[in-house]
């Protein structure tokens, strides 16, 4: 029976899919589905279970809620839904959509799709979820002025335009949020633009600095080119020229600086009531710790040599006593510079910690012991196979154990040598270079502050603006309440559709209705059971996978089952946090040892990675992650 025939049968007069004004399709469908059978039957809600639906047509005009999660929809029939209030199409394959015809839409969920740009959102939209659309780079909320909450996590570089300053926008580091309406590419004085990503911050910093210096040069050239003004007066006026601040555009200028300890700063130089311009970026260090230590030690040794030479020159009267005192004061100041001493001490401490990290060494010992235990299992099974060669299951067990040994060996290699690369030596030979530390793990660039574009107003202006803002906010809140009240006739309470489960759960007690599921459950570690009991969705997904394997092989080896929505490879934020697209996995990974998180991050970054991860590389990363999380469950 085709999916279309199955749908027609379920919604026919004798079908059980329709309850009141709601239709629940509890069997998976695929392909194009025509829902014309529902027209004229007063259907206000339509729910589809997980399947492979690629398109929906003929939807009822009176539909107010549409839920079609975990399917393969390529687009949405928005022109057929003039009365839709709630749309939930999470985990599909939607690339673009036009929402401007959904005039009554208040709640929208398009997480985990393939959206690239989002615009023309409905005017009554209150809440939207666009999480984990990997190619999403732009969201325009200008038309959705009533929007109170919008989430777009999982997008590395995204620009958001929002007219409602009170909208709660949830993003990852690196997002650019522009509030207050107006032209999308114009930075208004009321805007605060943040650049958490160091590379973007560097670009913006030097762009501001270059624009500032160019404006000064142009102003000076203009003064010098004034032919009607005497030359002496032109020189005097050029020297007295006061540039404008790049942020507040007032006379006084901007102070750009790079300190000795590699920190870029920019502050407003207006003496009276400076604006809130505050940029502070710590530059990273791309030298290897051993090379950096050698550099500092050679620098110190050179200063000491110069002091010895100065003493000899003074002894043999090659320099005067006055010159000798001045040079010695300068050299001793450089030698006893507290910043130099502190940096050298920090580098040595870091290098020693990387080479002899107790936590790393303990993990290496644990992984090594597991490898030897598995090798012993292989020898034991081989001996058993020699005695009973008819038992084919023994060879499958050996294959499984060898796969586990391969994963453990790769983990051990990454623990000992996080960086491995082939380089060409002086004789032109390819040699393996292994480094026991991460280059990026010492001093990474960091954006401490990046506040730009906000004027500091005088008290009178602030009081006037506050009163105006209060009045406008008051009027706006009245409009919002009025618009929301218009939809009070539709109550957003629809029960989630729950298909029959192979178990019944009461608190922490589980009664299994299937022997296969029960056999798997009793063999899981206690900590794993506790985790699954706290998350019903993960429990069903995990038990389905493990029970299927147990049924087909009649043997059971505990393994951690990653949720279907786990991102492999994960996104890496500017602070090196790993985002796997699933809050449960993210919490577990954040609890791993730092050395384990570094292994995962380095697997994603490469040395460095010049092309996307291949499928075998993704599989290796997935296996390493599953092994780490299973070790956590066994503790």
Q: For 537-593, how does the pLDDT look when each residue is reduced to its tens digit (9 = 90+)?
A: 788 888 888 888 887 777 777 789 998 888 888 887 756 678 888 888 888 988 888
pLDDT over 60 (residue 484): no
8 A C-beta contact, residue 32 and residue 2: no
Nearest to 261 by CA among 369, 362, 343, 374: 343
DSSP-derived letter for residue 264 is: E
Question: pLDDT: is 325 or 490 the higher one?
Answer: 325
Task: Say which residues have a Cβ less than 8 Å from residue 141's Cβ, sequence separation at least 6.
Answer: 121, 147, 150, 160, 161, 162, 163, 164, 167
Task: Say which residues have a Cβ less than 8 Å from residue 516's Cβ, sequence separation at least 6.
Answer: 547, 550, 551
Over range 177-202, report the average pLDDT: 54
* Percent of residues, the chain, with pLDDT higher than 70: 82
- Strand segments, DSSP code E, in 480-525 are 503-506, 509-512
Question: pLDDT: is 361 or 487 the higher one?
Answer: 361
CA dist 44 and 20 (Å) reads 9
Question: What pLDDT does 437 receive?
Answer: 63
Question: What pLDDT does 54 receive?
Answer: 92
Global confidence as pTM: 0.37
pLDDT over 60 (residue 192): no
CA dist 263 and 258 (Å) reads 6
User: Phi, psi (5° rounding) for residue 204?
Assistant: -70, -40
pLDDT confidence of 469, banded at 50, 70, 90? very low
Question: What pLDDT does 465 receive?
Answer: 39
Question: What pLDDT does 427 receive?
Answer: 84
Question: What pLDDT does 307 receive?
Answer: 92
Nearest to 166 by CA among 482, 453, 467, 474: 474
Question: What pLDDT does 464 receive?
Answer: 37
Tell how strand 45-48 and strand 65-68 pair up.
parallel
CA dist 548 and 530 (Å) reads 21
CA dist 23 and 11 (Å) reads 8
pLDDT over 70 (residue 56): yes
Nearest to 445 by CA among 193, 257, 192, 200: 200
Over range 178-191, report the average pLDDT: 45
Strand partners, 143: none
pLDDT in tens, 492-524: 444 444 444 576 666 667 777 777 888 888 888
Rg (CA), the chain: 33
pLDDT confidence of 308, banded at 50, 70, 90? very high
CA dist 324 and 251 (Å) reads 46
């Amino acid at each position: 029976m085709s999916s279309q025939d199955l749908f027609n049968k379920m919604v026919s007069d004798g079908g059980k899919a329709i309850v009141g004004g709601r239709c629940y399709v509890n069997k998976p469908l695929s392909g194009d589905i025509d829902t014309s059978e529902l027209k004229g039957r007063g259907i206000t809600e339509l729910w589809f279970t997980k399947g492979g639906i690629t398109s929906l047509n003929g939807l009822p005009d009176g539909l107010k809620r549409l839920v079609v999660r975990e399917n393969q929809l390529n687009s949405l029939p928005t022109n057929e839904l003039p009365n839709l209030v709630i749309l939930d199409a999470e985990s599909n394959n939607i690339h673009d959509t036009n929402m401007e015809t959904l005039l009554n839409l208040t709640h929208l969920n398009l997480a985990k799709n393939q959206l690239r740009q989002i615009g023309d959102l409905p005017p009554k939209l209150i809440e939207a979820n666009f999480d984990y659309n990997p190619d999403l780079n732009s969201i325009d909320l200008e038309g959705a002025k009533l929007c109170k909450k919008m989430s777009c996590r999982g997008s590395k570089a995204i620009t958001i335009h929002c007219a409602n300053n009170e909208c709660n926008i949830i993003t990852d580091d690196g997002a650019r949020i522009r509030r207050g309406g107006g032209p999308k590419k114009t930075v208004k004085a009321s805007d605060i633009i943040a650049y958490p990503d160091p590379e973007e911050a560097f670009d913006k910093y030097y762009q501001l600095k270059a624009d500032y210096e160019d404006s000064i040069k142009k102003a000076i050239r203009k003064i010098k080119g004034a032919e009607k003004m005497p030359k002496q007066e032109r020189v005097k006026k050029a020297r007295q020229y006061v540039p404008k601040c790049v942020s507040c555009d007032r006379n006084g200028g901007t102070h750009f600086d790079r300190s000795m300890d590699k920190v870029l700063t920019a502050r407003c130089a207006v003496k009276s009531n400076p604006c809130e311009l505050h940029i502070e970026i710590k530059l990273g260090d791309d030298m290897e710790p051993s090379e950096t230590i050698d550099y500092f030690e050679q620098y110190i040794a050179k200063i000491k040599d110069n002091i010895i030479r100065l003493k000899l020159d003074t002894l043999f009267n090659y320099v005067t006593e006055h010159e000798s005192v001045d040079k010695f004061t300068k050299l001793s100041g450089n030698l006893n510079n507290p910043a130099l001493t502190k940096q050298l001490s920090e580098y040595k401490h870091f290098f020693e910690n990387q080479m002899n990290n107790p936590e790393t060494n303990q993990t290496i010992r644990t992984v090594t012991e597991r490898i030897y235990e598995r090798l012993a299992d292989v020898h034991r099974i081989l001996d058993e196979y020699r005695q009973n060669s008819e038992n084919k299951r023994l060879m499958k067990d050996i294959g499984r154990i060898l796969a586990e040994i391969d994963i453990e060996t790769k983990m051990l290699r990454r623990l000992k040598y996080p960086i491995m690369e082939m380089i060409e030596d002086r004789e032109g030979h390819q040699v393996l270079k292994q480094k026991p530390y991460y280059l990026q793990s010492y001093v990474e660039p960091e954006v401490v502050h990046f506040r730009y574009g906000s004027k500091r107003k005088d008290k009178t202006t602030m009081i006037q603006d506050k009163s105006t803002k209060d009045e406008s906010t008051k009027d706006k809140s009245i409009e919002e309440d009025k618009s929301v009240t218009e939809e009070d006739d539709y109550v957003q309470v629809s029960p989630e559709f729950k298909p029959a489960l192979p178990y019944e759960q009461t608190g922490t007690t589980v009664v299994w209705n299937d022997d296969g599921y029960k056999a798997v459950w009793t063999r899981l570690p206690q900590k794993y059971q506790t985790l699954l009991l706290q998350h019903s969705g993960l429990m069903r997904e995990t038990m389905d996978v493990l029970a299927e394997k147990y049924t087909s092989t009649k043997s059971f080896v505990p393994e951690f089952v990653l949720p279907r929505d786990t991102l492999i490879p994960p996104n890496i934020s500017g602070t090196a946090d790993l985002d796997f697209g699933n809050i449960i996995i993210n919490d577990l990974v954040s609890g791993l040892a730092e050395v384990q998180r570094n292994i995962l991050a380095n697997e994603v970054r490469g040395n460095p990675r010049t092309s996307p991860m291949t499928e075998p590389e993704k599989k290796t990363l997935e296996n390493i992650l599953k092994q780490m999380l299973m070790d956590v469950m066994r503790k």
